[in-house]
Amino acid sequence: MTDERRIIFLDIDGTLSWDGAAPCEADIAALRRARSAGHTVLINTGRSYGVLPQTFMGVDYLDGYLCGCGTTLILKDKVVFDSALDRELLRDVSAFFLNQPGRCCLFEAWHNAYLIQCDTHFNPWPSAPLVHRADDFDTVYADAHITKLTVYGNITPAEYDLYHGRLVPVVQSSGQWYEAILPGNGKGMGIRRACKALGIPVENSIAVGDSDNDLDMFAAAGVAVAMEEASASAMAAARYRTGRCGHGGVARAVETLVFGEGTLDLIRNRA
């Protein structure tokens, strides 16, 4: 693999970072080395651009960002692809969750995030402005560019009905939260768009992740690598297992698959 141009896609949470902290020095050094050798490094995260940790902005070990489960692609400060929820859909979603006591919905946007906080004892995003009315995205937040939703807790049948034909749920097996994105997107579609934009064959892509919203990314990538503490579903979908987040797991994957140095754990029964 050392003589081919590679493109590396990295999840953030649980893969490259915990709680928005900077990656460990070993991971940063490996990514810088990959870029110096002519390879491309992109974030591929469920987070929208507006809620990316600042520690990842403008750094010299990244070439761009796939954000919001493939709903936004930015390469070297150029927006290559972007999609946003329309106002009618935002009104319908807002009206629904405003009438669901205890349900918490985060509207993730280009420059911010907005929150329907029905349960005052639980606030996953305390800095987010609150949505109070169904038409807030027509009035007080008229400039908001919403790319996806995150809802905390298990998805309900009523929520499936709300999204039907309009949004696609990306569900976590843990049940702690799920995402909802526009049809035709996803981390896997983001990989295909990025590879096409850069002229790199998809089979030359490497995806590293840890959770259920990485399954689509793993299915699209040439090689899929799960972190040591990945979910059972992510582990089963990957070809290789690497080390832990924050302990050089990303570096180990890059050094092995890009430079042919070191080894990864082969997950059995994978092609």
pTM of the model: 0.93
What's the token pair of residue 55?
A: 């520690």
Query: Which is higher by pLDDT, 79 or 126?
Result: 79
Mean pLDDT of the chain: 93
Q: Which residue has the tokens 């059995």?
A: 268
Reply yes or no on whether the pLDDT at 269 is more than 60: no
Give residue-wise pLDDT tens across range 169-225: 999 888 889 999 999 999 999 999 999 999 999 999 999 999 999 999 999 999 999
CATH number 3.40.50.1000 given to 7-82+185-266: yes
Reply yes or no on whether the pLDDT at 2 is more than 50: no
Give residue-wise pLDDT tens across range 6-20: 999 999 999 999 988
Helix or strand or coil: residue 83? coil
Domain with CATH 3.40.50.1000 in the chain: 7-82+185-266
What's the token pair of residue 230?
A: 């990945």
Query: 203: Cβ–Cβ under 8 A, 6 or more apart, which residues?
Result: 222
Do 1 and 258 touch, CB atoms closer than 8 A?
yes
Instruction: Give the model's pLDDT for residue 123.
Output: 78
Instruction: Give the model's pLDDT for residue 172.
Output: 86
Do 214 and 234 touch, CB atoms closer than 8 A?
yes
Average pLDDT for residues 16-29, to the nearest whole number? 94
Do 106 and 114 touch, CB atoms closer than 8 A?
yes
The Cα–Cα gap between 137 and 146 comes to 9
Spell out a b/e string for 251-268, using b for 16 or more CB atoms within 10 Å of the CB, else e. Answer: bbbbbbbbbeeeebeebe
Task: Using alpha carbons only, give the angle 128, 130, 131 rounded to the nearest 5 degrees.
Answer: 130
188 to 53, 69, 144, 203, 220: CA distances (angstroms): 22, 8, 26, 13, 5
Domain with CATH 3.30.1240.10 in the chain: 87-181
Instruction: Give the model's pLDDT for residue 1.
Output: 45
The Cα–Cα gap between 166 and 31 comes to 37
The Cα–Cα gap between 137 and 140 comes to 6
Average pLDDT for residues 132-141, to the nearest whole number? 97
CATH top-level class of 87-181:
alpha beta
